[in-house]
Structure 1
Amino acid sequence: MKKCIILLLGALLILTSCSPKFDEKEVVKKEDENKSEKTSIVPSYQLSDEMYRTILPYRPSAARGVIVNQMGNRLDIDEMSEGLRRHSKKYYDPDKYFFEEGQYLGKDMMYKWLERELTEKQIKEAVDQKMKVYKNSQNPSAEKAKQHRKQVEKEVRHVSSMALNPPIKDENSEKQQRNNPKYLSHVLEQNYLVKKEDNSVELKGMSIGIAMKSVYSFQTEVGGPSYYEEIGKDVMLKKGKKIAQTVLKRIRKMEGLKNIPILIAIYREEGQNSPVPGDYVAKTAVKGGDSKINEWEKIKEDYVLFPSDFAQENHFDDKQLIDDFAADVAEYFPNYVGVIGKGFYIKNELQKLTLEIPIEFYGKGEVIGFTQYTYGLVKEMFPDYYDLEIKIKSNKRLESFIYREAGSNKPEVHILH
């Protein structure tokens, strides 16, 4: 327990390095789904100018859990949420807006959206199956069965029309699966609220993330082998823009959302076992009242793994710097086994570099000595125009970490006990 507390305190020191704002605790009023007014609390502090305050009690997303079931890479799950919040700051100022998880796109709705549309044959089969169950349980008259069938078919067609992934005639056909992959993984909603003069809060902005696959994984039989089909970026983007337009029209029909400004961004996932997450590739800001997307803005972001062929070809200078750093470490510490790096780039400019150094330690003195030596290399070798985080790990746990904010020449050091 003591170790966990120390680790959490160390993380908190990093988060609060931008001097948190301490204000008087605000109590606000918010209407729930049933139009009844409830008292909520805005936290009395803001961790930094870059972070949104969240209204309490915290309300989880109406589609909570769906993203975990649909996206296979934990890094993608985190980056999709954090990245959408990062892009939202340009449109919803953290000083003026409060953050809340999405409350309009519910779990049942989301699962329907993520399904495949049905073919006419599949619709008939679904109706026949439902009617078989109905007749066995109710034994209706011919006229009553006819009327019920019309109702069932109407419901099946409605559910099919909600699906945003393409239909497929035969799911057991590898060729058809490859030609008609499921492109869409998830639709993420975030809400942004402002406080009114009567001390209540209201929705004033929404952000929608459209998660698209880069690799489609499928099986043609239960328990059979898994197949993989890569989805080109151009195809993915074309399909994503079409899906985004459909999602916008559906949102505009929901109560209270007709005149809300909406940021929509398309996220391209990485493969399931990728050591780095995917990234947002395009976004558009839709004014309140608009139901049509006119223009998309290209987003140039990349998460880059070091070492990798991509880093070698596209970020050679940064790759060489990390290699030199690794060589300096290896010269003095025989138990060192390598450096794994992850760089975040915007328009090919490095914004944050995270390095993980796995090493075998035989005592706390080695941890302290290694951390001191690494601290010196940070001061001497790494430019200060990006955030830098170095995690020093044994085979059991995180032993220490060094953090330096962009523009600072004094890295923070934390040795865990």
Structure 2
Amino acid sequence: MKRFLLIPGLVLLLLVGGCIPSLGGEDEELIQDTEESVEETVIIPDVQLKDEYYQTLLPFKKSASRGLVAEDRAGTKYDIKEVEEGLLRLSTQHFDPKDYYFQEGQYIDEKTAASWVKRKGDGKIGKDEVDPGLNPKRPPEGTSDADIAKTAPDYLSHIVEQNYLVMTKDKKVKLEGISIGLALKSYYYNVSGREIAEIPDKQIEEQGMLMAEEVVKRLRAQEGLENIPIVVGLFKQNRKSAIVPGNYFATAVADKGKGLAGWKRINEKYVVFPTPTNDEKYRDTNTSFKNFKQAIDDYFPSFVNVIGRGFHKEGKLDSLTIEIPIQFYGTSETIGFIQYLVSIMPKYLPNVYTEVSITSINGPEALIIKKPGEDEPFVHIYGY
């Protein structure tokens, strides 16, 4: 019999969210050096959930450009989430979570970010000001949608900034790293929102690299950022109808006082299961998922759909997220179904980090988390 952990929903939310109060010891108060040289008292919680998670300074400071991300141009909800989470993942390769603390971006404010994602010439530019727009100049009036898609689509959708700080010998924290994510459209949509054409990968890459160089140049011009290492990632958004996010595909680093150099490929991809593709890379996982889905249909035939999202790194499945909508109303039936899922997961699903979310018209019903190498999953039934 697998173990079932029934805990209050609030506690689970805190655990999954990665932001919990101290569970032992005292939080440490430090002084933060700001760009205006005004000292602020900050707190570093005495808990770090995992080695790969950054500790966050308190009080929490919202991103200076957070309001911009909510706009329609930012892509799907999956893209909005992954462009931030993927940048965190990318940042760990340069800013070790053991040595660095995380803070949302404070140097590109909402007004600045909004001006940067405009087309050249669309902003109100003074006589001696540089045009802030990073997207191509708007084509002449009367240009067809098809021609715009080929020659001058607006590539840049939004910009994500993350800051990384270190502790000094005199118990102060100071900025020692910046990560920038540039979200780039992979499809061109006209003013009415109709999809016109897919933008070629080479085109996205070339434009993204040019924009990244300009962003670093502008950050270097800010007082206090002249010698801060800057990591840039290029993120390719998925189409608006997609149920998986896009992915980061290239990255480069601007070392202290320098511009970007040494662009590298990032091999990451999200895949929906079951997938109609015959790609050999996903064939085994797709077959396993179909067998898992069939086992569910045989036992409980009243499902509308079961959707899996696989995250692949370097061509290998790294994690799997599964959503299962149920139409049950009885508690005993729901618990019986959860027990059945737990029993068949080891038989059908790959041995990777797996999350199974069970929902109904009433909202979340249960969460199952299976880590690779563990015999028993974590199971939480909401409301118990």
TM-score normalised by length of structure 1: 0.83
Say which SS state the counterpart of residue 317 (structure 2) adopts: strand
Residue 271 (1) aligns with residue 273 (2): no
User: Which residue pairs with 1:8 in the alignment?
Assistant: 10
Q: Provide the C-alpha distance between the structure 1 equivalents of 2:249 and 2:193, rounded to a whole number of angstroms.
A: 31
Q: CA contact under 8 A between 1:15 and 1:47: conserved in structure 2?
A: no
| Residues 371 and 354 (structure 1), Cα distance of their counterparts in 2 relative to 1, 3 Å cut | same
| Residues 44 and 173 (structure 1), Cα distance of their counterparts in 2 relative to 1, 3 Å cut | same
AA aligned opposite 2:300: F
User: Which residue pairs with 1:136 in the alignment?
Assistant: none
Deviations 1:126-182 (A, max 9, x none): 7xxxxxxxxxxxxxxxxxxxxxxxxx8505xx25x2211111242553245322100
User: Which residue pairs with 2:82 in the alignment?
Assistant: 79
| Residues 41 and 204 (structure 1), Cα distance of their counterparts in 2 relative to 1, 3 Å cut | same
Can you give the 5+ residue segments of structure 1 that lack an aligned partner in the other structure? 127-151
Residue 168 (1) aligns with residue 135 (2): no
| Residues 107 and 309 (structure 1), Cα distance of their counterparts in 2 relative to 1, 3 Å cut | same
User: Which residue pairs with 2:161 in the alignment?
Assistant: 189
Say which SS state the counterpart of residue 289 (structure 1) adopts: coil
Residue 36 (1) aligns with residue 38 (2): yes
AA aligned opposite 2:85: E
User: Which residue pairs with 1:204 in the alignment?
Assistant: 176
Q: CA contact under 8 A between 1:312 and 1:319: conserved in structure 2?
A: no
User: Which residue pairs with 2:214 in the alignment?
Assistant: 246
Q: CA contact under 8 A between 2:119 and 2:137: conserved in structure 1?
A: yes
Runs of 4 or more, structure 1, over 6 Å off, are none
Deviations 1:235-286 (A, max 9, x none): 1011101111111111111111111111111000011221000000011122
| Residues 282 and 21 (structure 1), Cα distance of their counterparts in 2 relative to 1, 3 Å cut | farther
Q: Provide the C-alpha distance between the structure 2 equivalents of 1:227 and 1:348, rounded to a whole number of angstroms.
A: 29
Say which SS state the counterpart of residue 258 (structure 1) adopts: coil
Q: CA RMSD in A?
A: 2.2
Please report how far the alpha carbon of residue 31 of structure 1 lies from its aligned counterpart in structure 2 after TM superposition.
3.0
Say which SS state the counterpart of residue 350 (structure 2) adopts: coil
| Residues 251 and 14 (structure 1), Cα distance of their counterparts in 2 relative to 1, 3 Å cut | closer
User: Which residue pairs with 2:331 in the alignment?
Assistant: 364
Q: CA contact under 8 A between 2:244 and 2:271: conserved in structure 1?
A: yes
Deviations 1:16-50 (A, max 9, x none): 7xxx9855311111133432211111112112211
User: Which residue pairs with 2:229 in the alignment?
Assistant: 261
Q: Provide the C-alpha distance between the structure 2 equivalents of 1:64 and 1:172, rounded to a whole number of angstroms.
A: 35
State which of 146, 149, 154 in structure 1 corresponds to 2:127: 154
Residue 177 (1) aligns with residue 143 (2): no
User: Which residue pairs with 1:147 in the alignment?
Assistant: none
Q: CA contact under 8 A between 1:21 and 1:48: conserved in structure 2?
A: no
Bigger helix fraction = 1
Q: CA contact under 8 A between 2:228 and 2:257: conserved in structure 1?
A: yes
Residue 282 (1) aligns with residue 250 (2): yes
Q: Map 1:284-363 onto structure 2 (within 5 A).
A: 284-291=252-259, 293-310=260-277, 314-363=281-330
Say which SS state the counterpart of residue 294 (structure 1) adopts: strand
Please report how far the alpha carbon of residue 288 of structure 1 lies from its aligned counterpart in structure 2 after TM superposition.
0.7
Q: CA contact under 8 A between 1:187 and 1:208: conserved in structure 2?
A: yes
Q: Provide the C-alpha distance between the structure 2 equivalents of 1:297 and 1:154, rounded to a whole number of angstroms.
A: 38
| Residues 13 and 110 (structure 1), Cα distance of their counterparts in 2 relative to 1, 3 Å cut | closer
Q: Provide the C-alpha distance between the structure 2 equivalents of 1:22 and 1:288, rounded to a whole number of angstroms.
A: 38
Q: CA contact under 8 A between 1:305 and 1:311: conserved in structure 2?
A: no
Please report how far the alpha carbon of residue 226 of structure 1 lies from its aligned counterpart in structure 2 after TM superposition.
3.2
Residue 97 (1) aligns with residue 100 (2): yes
Q: CA contact under 8 A between 2:183 and 2:235: conserved in structure 1?
A: yes
User: Which residue pairs with 2:111 in the alignment?
Assistant: 108
Please report how far the alpha carbon of residue 58 of structure 1 lies from its aligned counterpart in structure 2 after TM superposition.
1.0
User: Which residue pairs with 1:88 in the alignment?
Assistant: 91
The range that moved more, 316-325 or 226-235, is: 226-235
Percent identical: 37
User: Which residue pairs with 1:389 in the alignment?
Assistant: 355
Say which SS state the counterpart of residue 347 (structure 2) adopts: helix
Higher relative contact order (CA 8 A, sep 6+): 2
Please report how far the alpha carbon of residue 232 of structure 1 lies from its aligned counterpart in structure 2 after TM superposition.
1.1
| Residues 378 and 340 (structure 1), Cα distance of their counterparts in 2 relative to 1, 3 Å cut | same
Please report how far the alpha carbon of residue 383 of structure 1 lies from its aligned counterpart in structure 2 after TM superposition.
3.5
Q: Provide the C-alpha distance between the structure 1 equivalents of 2:30 and 2:142, rounded to a whole number of angstroms.
A: 54
State which of 26, 44, 48 in structure 2 corresponds to 1:46: 48
TM-score normalised by length of structure 2: 0.90
Say which SS state the counterpart of residue 261 (structure 2) adopts: coil
| Residues 313 and 173 (structure 1), Cα distance of their counterparts in 2 relative to 1, 3 Å cut | farther
User: Which residue pairs with 1:233 in the alignment?
Assistant: 201
Q: Provide the C-alpha distance between the structure 1 equivalents of 2:302 and 2:380, rounded to a whole number of angstroms.
A: 21
Say which SS state the counterpart of residue 111 (structure 2) adopts: helix
User: Which residue pairs with 1:405 in the alignment?
Assistant: 371
Q: Provide the C-alpha distance between the structure 2 equivalents of 1:287 and 1:392, rounded to a whole number of angstroms.
A: 45
